Structure formats: structure tokens, C-alpha cells
Amino acid sequence: MLEEPLSHGLLEAIIADDAELTEALLWEATRQGLLHAGPVPGQFSFVRRLLFETAYATIPPSQRQDLHARIATHLLAQMETMGRLPLTPWHTTPT
């Protein structure tokens, strides 16, 4: 579910709203050459797709469901703030 570019707000939601930790992790990963600033201020992208895939693969499957739920909650809150209705997943729509 997590794709690029990564926003600062999304990463805060994943790291349980720890803004200081999020900021430190983003800048350290940038300094180490793993991330670079994205096209919009506050966004970051992995330097290589393989880095993203490797990072994702290191997350134990038992924790992925919780992380996906945090991401979904954050994205729905953003949509509500922008006045957009939540999207209905294609597999739940009547045929």
C-alpha cells in the first residue's frame, strides 16, 4: 500500500505521530543516500525501487496489517479534510 513519494505526514502516521523521530529518520536516510527530496516540499522518494522493496520486505508480515491500517486511516482523514468522499474499493462495489 505504501508507495512513493513518501510524505512527512504519512510517515508520522506510520511512526505513531512522533514528529521528531520522523524528521530525524527522514534526514538521516537522505544523508545516507537512501532517500532524496521529492517533487513537493515535505515529500521524499527512495533513490532506487529496490531500496523500497527491500525496506518493505523487512517488515514482518504480522506488523504489515497494522501499518496498512494506519496508512489507510491517515489517507481517509486527508480525504475528509480536503472535502472528498472516501473511495469505495472496486471489489466491494455491486456489479
pLDDT for position 40: 78
Domain residue ranges in the chain: 6-84
Instruction: For residue 93, count other CB atoms closer than 10 A to its CB.
Output: 7
The pLDDT, as a whole number, for residue 33 is 92
Q: Are 26 and 44 in contact (CB under 8 A)?
A: yes
Using an 8 Å Cβ cutoff, are 52 and 4 in contact?
A: yes
pTM listed for this prediction? 0.61
pLDDT along the chain (95 residues), means of 10: 65 72 82 86 85 89 86 82 59 51
